[in-house]
Structure 1
Amino acid sequence: VEGASRKEIKSTTYQRTIAHRRVEEAERRVSEVEVKLELSPEDRWDENNEDYRATLKYIKQRKYQLAVDKLERLVVQRLFELTKLNISGTGYKLRTHISRALKTRSNTIRKALDKYNKLAVEVQPPRPTLSFKEVVSYTFLAEFDLLRDARQDVRERPWSKPVYREAMERWYKLQCARDEIDRLNIEVQRLATHLRDEELDYESAIRTLSTADHGLATELRLLWDLCKSVNHIHRRRLFQIAALP
């Protein structure tokens, strides 16, 4: 090549040789696949083949989704680090470490964003591109619009609909209520037994102290009168529970 140095010619020749070897290796692998699948040269795809177009579209969509996943992960990590940075009680060393991590994260987000924007215009239909300022301005996960373009659109999930979520919540409450009823049936019997035993114990203690220590017996009776008024409320509630179907 005219004007090129000997070193540049040698480097270009080396790169050409490497590229030629890669092409030969790719052709060899393609031939092996064609033999295994028993494909003829006429079965090879070209730009006008429908299967080729569908596969190319799938590959672009797949690359785009992976770029979205990576960008989403980086932004969410940044949100968590910002939250940790603002938590009271975070030490100086940890704050310094988080600040450095945020700087590194910002550079990583820029690279991931460049890749996302490049792939966003290649998919069908094209997705809107984003700027670095828009991405780093997200402060809540609800603002992260990229979730709609994730590998699985969560908006199409049944649990994303408010009516379904409310029905699911009520169903779980119903299941818990049944378990709670079984538990309360045991606790009600225990409470009724405790009220009966407490009354017998107080009456027995008061009778015993009436002859040995009249003053203490009087004090114990006053305490029992207070407890008896409370137990009366408990018994009334227990009767109401027993009357339930």
Structure 2
Amino acid sequence: MKCVSLEKNERTAWVAMNRPEAMNSLTAELCAELVEAFAECERDAEIRAVVLTGSGRAFCAGGDLPTLAALKSRDEAEEYVKTAGRVALAIVRSAKPYIAMVNGAAAGAGFNIALACDFLCASKNAKFTQAFSSIGLIADCGGNFLLPRLAGPREAKRLMMLPEKLTAEDAEKLGLTTLVAEDAELREKTAELAARLAAMPPLALAEIKKFINEADIFEATLRREESIQSRLILGEECKEGITAFFEKRPPKF
């Protein structure tokens, strides 16, 4: 079964992460399929806007912890972080507007992939958390570039260091969302936004996105994250954090 589904409806592509049993946590396979789906959207001249969402009760729970726990070498760890980072980079470098439709939990890398999108439509029941420091890691998927720019450095430090959970209302107050809707209205409201974007001049929108996103700086951030994160993944703090998560106890750092 594929980890990603792609549906095209008029001039909008709907891309859904499809590992609901694992809250759409990021495996190498899921990341590769996302990048492939994004590339197909990029090639299709009829597609003017892309919506990214998750199946089941989550948008994306971030890195897949069993995958992280199984990494044995610095090269393996760096490649895993790089694989996830390619998802965010493809969104940032795309000429087309991306909308994250956050239908549930968006944690860790899942939160940052949502932030990489140009617009974020959230269910009132959505939850957001950076989560990384709770297992001895730093943010990745460009979070160190995205969150300080969107929420400000002080809020970014609070959310990354503690790390606190945000409701959709909290995220809205910080300016992280484009709109917040009831569960039953989320797809309709997102589709309306996508239709508005699809009706706009695509070349102008592409240039606006290019100016604002500073993709070269974003990619440089990804490279730094890969280097630091791959070291931390193999460290004792991360091992304790993951073990504590599975044992349902507070970690002892």
In the superposition, the TM-score normalised over structure 1's length comes to 0.21
Bigger radius of gyration among the two: 1
More strand by share: 2
